[in-house]
Amino acid sequence: EAGVTQFPSHSVIEKGQTVTLRCDPISGHDNLYWYRRVMGKEIKFLLHFVKESKQDESGMPNNRFLAERTGGTYSTLKVQPAELEDSGVYFCASSQRTGRGYEQYFGPGTRLTVT
């Protein structure tokens, strides 16, 4: 079974440009999450989808960030326009309910560098 995949693995853009990150969850997982880790800081929750609906977007930093999950499958996270402080590693995770509750499976992350 394929794990959570993210694309690209690394992106370098200039301030003011637009970048779109993609996450493909594990097949059949209704829950999809985005997190971000800024250098030296904690991994921060951004938002949570249940299928195509946003369950919780309380962690989204501002309106320059737009997340979508069309059809409840893959998700994209767009940053427009990018600022220097947006640099960091963006993680995606997915989960599904099991007999032991929920376990979030994480992708390898996308390292975003804004110069």
Interface residues with other proteins (CB under 8 A)? 3-4, 31, 33, 35, 40-48, 55-56, 58-59, 91, 93, 95, 97, 100-109
Cβ atoms of residues 45 and 55 within 8 Å: no
Q: Which of residues 28 and 101 has its CB atom nearest to other proteins in the complex?
A: 101
CB of 48 to other proteins, least distance (A): 5
CB of 17 to other proteins, least distance (A): 26
- The residues near 105 (Cβ < 8 Å, ≥ 6 apart) are 3, 4, 26, 29, 93, 94, 95
CB of 22 to other proteins, least distance (A): 15
What does the angle CA 31 – CA 45 – CA 82 come to, to the nearest 5 degrees? Answer: 110
